[in-house]
């Protein structure tokens, strides 16, 4: 199955997983636990063994917005913070009880920066995903975007609340309910 984030399909993250498996410490995060807060510099990076996390921020009106998700078999980090020591623009919070192999961020940063080809491929994949996300907001209807994320991660409604999915799609919760009602074979209607 494809990863939720397209950039993870474009880059071979075996090196990341290997670093975490070789040098990492297994940490358990309960639902709602923070991996990192907004404004902190990321000191650790990880490989998600089980569970999932959201990247979120507070908008200018004081509303929490889910801006990304990562799940089992994925990296757990922020590229800009890990590579350049910049403060986190988002917080990373466990969506469910999760296990993560955690290593110092410097181990991942050093590996990425030592391999210019990997560094370029990684940043290009992130840029491409971000640009595609912006374009998709213009060319696709909210229903089409909903179907796309559900195809990428069918378990989404088991892990992520309707409000967080709506904020990720940049639509209201009411719009999301209407969309879900128009899809006859949607088996996720029973979850919240």
Where along the chain do its domains lie?
7-115, 140-182
Please compute the mean of the pLDDT values over residues 122-142 and round it to a whole number: 81
**pLDDT for residue 130:** 79
**pLDDT for residue 186:** 46
What are the Cα distances from residue 20, in Å, to 11, 13, 48, 164?
17, 11, 10, 29
pTM: 0.83
**pLDDT for residue 185:** 54
**pLDDT for residue 18:** 96
Q: Are 51 and 99 in contact (CB under 8 A)?
A: yes
Confidence grade of residue 138 (pLDDT, cut at 50, 70, 90): confident
Which residues 6+ apart lie within 8 Å of 108 measured at CB?
16, 19, 45, 77, 82
Read off the pLDDT of residues 5-60 as tens digits, 9 standing for 90 and up: 655 666 778 899 999 999 999 999 999 999 999 999 999 999 999 999 999 999 89
pLDDT averaged over every residue in the chain = 86
Distance between start and end Cα atoms, the chain: 24
**pLDDT for residue 187:** 45
- What CATH superfamily is the domain 7-115? Jelly Rolls (2.60.120.10)
**pLDDT for residue 3:** 63
Distance between CA atoms of residues 156 and 162, nearest Å: 10
Distance between CA atoms of residues 69 and 73, nearest Å: 12
Distance between CA atoms of residues 79 and 175, nearest Å: 32
Pick the closest to residue 5 from 133, 179, 180 (CA basis): 133
Q: Which helix (H) or strand (E) holds 100?
A: strand 98-104
């Amino acid at each position: 199955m494809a990863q939720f984030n397209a950039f993870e399909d474009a880059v071979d993250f075996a090196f990341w997983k290997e670093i975490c498996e070789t040098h990492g410490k297994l940490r358990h995060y309960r639902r709602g636990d923070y991996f990192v807060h907004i404004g902190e510099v990321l000191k650790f990076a990880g490989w998600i063994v089980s569970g999932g996390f959201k990247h979120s921020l507070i908008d200018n009106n004081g509303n929490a917005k889910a801006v990304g998700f990562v799940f089992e078999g994925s990296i757990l980090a922020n590229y800009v913070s890990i590579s350049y020591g910049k403060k986190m623009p988002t917080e990373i919070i466990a969506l469910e009880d999760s296990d993560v192999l955690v290593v110092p961020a410097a181990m991942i940063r050093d590996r990425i920066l030592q391999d210019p080809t990997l560094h370029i491929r990684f940043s290009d994949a992130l840029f491409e995903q971000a640009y595609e996300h912006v374009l998709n907001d213009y060319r696709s209807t909210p229903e089409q975007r909903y179907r796309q994320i559900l195809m990428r991660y069918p378990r989404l409604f088991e892990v992520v609340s309707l409000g967080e999915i709506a904020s990720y799609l940049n639509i209201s919760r009411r719009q999301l309910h209407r969309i879900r009602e128009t899809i006859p074979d949607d088996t996720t209607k029973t979850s919240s």
